[in-house]
Amino acid sequence: MRTRIILTLALILTGAIGQTSAQHHGRGIFAEPELEVRSDSGAITIPFELINNHLIIPISLGEATFDVILDTGMPISAVMLYGTDRVDELDLNFGSMQVGVAGAGGGDPISARLAQGETVDVGALRMKNTTLLVMPPLPGMSLYHDGIIGAALFENFVVGIDYDERKLHLHDPATYTAAEGAVEVPLSFHGPRRVPYADLKVTMASGQAADLQVVVDLGASHTLSLNMDTIEQFAIPASTISSTIGRGVSGPVLGRVGRIGGLELGGFAFSDVVATFPISAHQHPGDMDSKNGNLGSGILKRFNVTFDYASKRMLLEPNNAFEAPFEWDMSGMRLEPVEAGLRIDDLVAGSPAADAGLAVDDVVTHVDGEPASARNMFELRNRMQRDGTEIKIRATREGRSVEVKLTLRRMV
């Protein structure tokens, strides 16, 4: 038996876009897990890391621990894992069923296996009879996480995310009371896909404004992605750059990146916001109705945010990152890890990296004398968002060494 799932998490190296949906609802295929709260108080608190704007929590299968992204765009109660050697050692209960997993990008669906009836621990929460969706590791996607979890938590708990304290809180929906002063943003759910949508107002640099509806995607590391084919009032701003704006399950996501005048969510206003504009073919992965676009963690991380699916709402409380500026990569090079360092996968024409003489397929081995690798790639990415900073790059090109200096420049 084979069905098809649309799973579109995007990993960004110079910026990010991503979203998740399910074309096949799958309630008969993906059994709802049996939940057991194993703390005396009934409270469940889980520490998390924030890497590349992705919220990563630990889960356990027996004695093995895996780090997974928490994603509102994961529409099924299964847990997705990459099929690494560590997963192979679990001796999972695979049946004959496989699914095709598609997502952002232009590639073909990927075949994934299902293991059913497994037990997964998430902090003090035990999930019995859980389905695991195991798919091959993807280039760049499995650098710092082992998989994805979503609906299994969001549909059974009120999920509170404290970005200031880096803690995730799971509350019983029947007894949950919103924090005083939290601002409520209504959520809607359309059709069989269990992903949330919210309304927001977007203003372009020209001053034109429109009320839009977008996917709320905790697993997308960008700020805002706009499906311009669905927005008659707007045109893509003239001052944008063409780039690979992310990588999804089905390959690179192409488009443009620039700035909009601002956006308003739940009465909170942000100005001079970086936004991405995917090409037409990448606006609706797997024919998903992603409405006018996708709101990602570049906005959500500025709040301590609570998702309350039972009451169809999201609660927002500004946190310490609320006023941080919006930035994009200022080098112009998109990097992917290889054994020898970080390969330049894409290069923006006229960018500091291009002007310094770097080229696609060069392998960056050192930045300011520090070895470059998958381990510190995102730290280096953050370092390349500082306007006016000079950095030294050492790279290899067809077996010979290349050394250049470049001055980072805000291009959007």
User: What is the structure's pLDDT at 244?
Assistant: 83
Could you please report the per-residue DSSP string of 45-95? EEE-EEETTEEEEEEEETTEEEEEEE-TT--SSSEEEE--HHHHTT---EE
Separation of alpha carbons 333 and 396, rounded Å = 15
User: What is the structure's pLDDT at 216?
Assistant: 96
Structure tokens at 354: 């291009």
Separation of alpha carbons 276 and 294, rounded Å = 10
User: What is the structure's pLDDT at 26?
Assistant: 43
Query: Which residues belong to CATH 2.40.70.10 in the chain?
Result: 2-171, 188-300
Average pLDDT of span 71-78: 90
pLDDT band at 7 (very low <50, low <70, confident <90, very high): very low
| CATH superfamily, with its number, for domain 333-407 | PDZ domain (2.30.42.10)
User: What is the structure's pLDDT at 189?
Assistant: 93
Mean pLDDT of the chain: 87
Q: Which of 5-19, 140-154, 332-346, 357-371 has the lowest average pLDDT?
A: 5-19
> What pLDDT, in 10s, does the model give residues 213-248?
999 999 988 999 999 999 988 889 888 998 888 776
In percent, the amount of the chain with pLDDT more than 70 equals 88
Higher pLDDT, 246 or 393: 393
pLDDT band at 206 (very low <50, low <70, confident <90, very high): confident
> What pLDDT, in 10s, does the model give residues 145-173?
999 999 999 999 999 999 999 999 999 99
Separation of alpha carbons 5 and 99, rounded Å = 7
Higher pLDDT, 96 or 8: 96
> What pLDDT, in 10s, does the model give residues 92-125?
988 877 777 765 555 567 788 999 999 999 999 9
Separation of alpha carbons 82 and 47, rounded Å = 22
Residue indicated by tokens 């399910």:
22
Contact 232, 211 (CB under 8 A): no
Average pLDDT of span 2-7: 44
Higher pLDDT, 57 or 24: 57
Task: Evaluate if residue 205 carries a pLDDT over 90.
Answer: no
Phi (first) and psi of residue 300, to 5 degrees: -60, -35
pLDDT band at 140 (very low <50, low <70, confident <90, very high): low
Q: Which of 186-200, 214-228, 261-275, 296-310 has the lowest average pLDDT?
A: 186-200
The CATH architecture of the domain made up of 188-300 is Beta Barrel (2.40)
User: What is the structure's pLDDT at 21?
Assistant: 32
Query: Which residues belong to CATH 2.30.42.10 in the chain?
Result: 333-407
Task: Evaluate if residue 185 carries a pLDDT over 70.
Answer: yes
Length of the chain: 412
Domain at 2-171: CATH code:
2.40.70.10
pTM of the full structure: 0.90
